């Protein structure tokens, strides 16, 4: 095989490898206290919940097509057998592992859908309230690939009617008042009918790149292709631009808004736990498509 053919084949094999492996998620705790991250997603990763002490890091590999969310539990007490509970964002499993259970609001959420040979979508959401600062940083990849998140301590700015007892978390207006207007439900279940509330605007002002309510899509959803991601709890303001104000669509090209419209505002549903987004290719289909492309390329070069 000539050098040109070898180079093309190598690049295609690398593309296959990256597409099948998905992305690496790294969790870093910069808080002055221990955080217990929770994980809810499909398919399951190597853990659904674990302890992350101050200054420590842990990584997981997620496959192509993985979709789910991460959050940080605080004020946890677990015994030697892993039984216990947390003061904020508890998943209700009674264990360190969440075992398929989601966070009890209020909880700051990082949400991802890894593309099958296409863009990854990601956001940091305050739709279910806030319990600690969190940002998502991106390494590698192509596209805008912007950092996002909330570095502000919203617990200090939380209105009294949203503040949980003890001040360790700040509820969303939906969680506090449970009305269709605040929850974007019933007659308010559309972007046109569900406008930002005075409470969501408090969140948005402090954290402009984070989801502040269910239909806060165009300034809060981000995309990247073939990247790895780091979820940082309690990032220092100097180490991240995640809460900086941005203009235009989240990826700077208009493609995010088009993708959202084409997929029925799937990220808004993900932010409220109702995501029904379907991926165009699963891992096996993507692998088969690349193999077919390799065969076609080699056949063409032999002509």
pTM for this predicted structure: 0.76
| Average pLDDT along the chain | 80
Q: How confident is the model at residue 1 (pLDDT cuts 50, 70, 90)?
A: low
pLDDT at site 194: 96
92 Rama class: left (phi>0) / alpha (psi -120 to 50) / beta: left
Q: Does pLDDT of 243 surpass 80? A: no
Using one digit for the tens of pLDDT, what is the confidence trace for 70-95?
A: 999 999 999 999 899 999 999 999 99
Percent of the chain whose predicted confidence (pLDDT) is above 70: 71
Q: Which residues contact 300 (CB under 8 A, 6 or more apart)?
A: none
Using one digit for the tens of pLDDT, what is the confidence trace for 223-236?
A: 999 999 999 999 98
Q: 37-46, 111-120, 127-136, 252-261 — which is least confidently predicted?
A: 252-261
Q: How confident is the model at residue 15 (pLDDT cuts 50, 70, 90)?
A: very low
Q: How many CA atoms lie within 13 A of 247 on its CB side?
A: 0
3-state secondary structure the chain: CCHHHHHHHHHHHHHHHHHHHCEEEEEEECCCCCEEEEEEEECCCCCCECCECCCCEEEEEECCCCEEEEEEEECCEECCCCEEECCECCCCCCECCCCCCCCCCCCCEEEEECCCCCCEEEEEECCCCECCCEEEEEEEEECCCCCEEECCCHHHHCCCCCECCCCCCECCHHHHHCCHHHHCCHHHCCCCCCCCCHHHHHHHHHCCCCECCCCCCCCCCEEEEEEEEEEEECCCHHHCCCCCCCCCCCCCCCHHHHHHHHCCCHHHHHHCCCCCCCCCCCHHHHHHHHHHHHHHHHHHHHC
Q: 66-80, 187-201, 214-228, 270-284 — which is least confidently predicted?
A: 270-284
CA distance 216 to 139: 25
pLDDT at site 160: 96
Instruction: Classify strands 23-29 and 222-233 as parallel, antiparallel or unpaired.
Output: parallel
Domains of the chain: 25-282 (2.60.110.10)
């Amino acid at each position: 095989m000539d050098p040109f053919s070898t180079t093309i084949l190598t690049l295609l094999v690398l593309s296959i490898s990256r597409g099948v492996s998905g992305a690496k998620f790294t969790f870093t705790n910069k808080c002055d206290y221990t955080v217990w991250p929770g994980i809810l997603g499909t398919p399951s990763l190597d853990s659904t919940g674990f302890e992350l002490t101050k200054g420590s890091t842990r990584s997981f590999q997620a496959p192509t097509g993985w979709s789910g969310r991460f959050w940080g539990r605080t004020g946890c007490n677990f015994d030697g057998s892993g039984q216990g509970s947390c003061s904020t964002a508890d998943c209700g499993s009674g264990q360190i592992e969440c075992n398929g259970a989601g966070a009890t609001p209020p909880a700051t959420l990082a949400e991802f859908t890894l593309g099958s040979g296409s863009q990854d979508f990601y956001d940091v959401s305050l739709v279910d309230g806030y319990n600690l600062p969190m940002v998502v940083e991106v390494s590698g990849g192509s596209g805008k690939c912007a950092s996002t998140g909330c570095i502000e301590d919203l617990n200090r700015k939380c209105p009294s009617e949203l503040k949980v007892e003890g001040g360790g978390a700040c509820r969303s207006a939906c969680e506090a008042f449970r009305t269709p207007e605040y929850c974007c439900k019933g007659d308010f279940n559309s972007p046109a009918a569900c406008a930002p509330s005075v409470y969501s605007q408090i969140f948005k002002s402090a954290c402009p790149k984070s989801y502040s309510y269910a239909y806060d899509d165009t300034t809060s959803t981000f995309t990247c292709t073939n990247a790895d991601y780091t979820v940082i709890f309690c990032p220092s303001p100097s180490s991240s631009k995640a809460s900086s104000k941005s203009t235009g669509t989240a990826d700077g090209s208009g493609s995010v808004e088009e993708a959202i419209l084409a997929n029925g505002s799937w990220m808004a549903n993900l932010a409220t736990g109702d995501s029904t987004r379907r991926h165009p290719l699963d891992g096996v289909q993507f692998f088969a498509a690349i193999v077919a492309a390799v065969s076609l390329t080699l056949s063409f070069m032999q002509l």
